[in-house]
Amino acid sequence: MIDKFLKEFVKLIVENADAVRVEANEIDETFSEITIYVDKADTGKVIGKDGKVINAVKTLIAACKAKSGKSYRINIKPNDES
């Protein structure tokens, strides 16, 4: 559910929405690592000035822990397929 939300949210921010890919890796029952792959040119847009955009996204996702009890780590990586 979180990964689908992140994919749609990031698509709204970037120029090359077709290059957005999200992978969720469940480490255990209480922790997941989510990696967002974007075009190299769009990496800065997702991170934002001084990291404000990605920090806001991380804050929003951390709020999901209150409901599900699961923690998330969010990573941004350039898409090497482009």
- What's the pTM? 0.85
45 vs 21: CA distance, rounded Å? 15
- Residue 76 has phi, psi (to 5 degrees) of -115, 130
Strands (E), 17-70: 21-28, 31-38
Q: What is the pLDDT of residues 52-61, one digit of tens each?
A: 999 999 888 8
Q: How many domains does the chain have?
A: 1
Which pLDDT belongs to residue 82? 43
Q: What is the pLDDT of residues 10-26, one digit of tens each?
A: 999 999 999 999 999 99
Q: Give the range of the structural domain holding residue 44, as residue numbers without chain letter.
A: 2-78
CATH of the domain at 57: 3.30.300.20
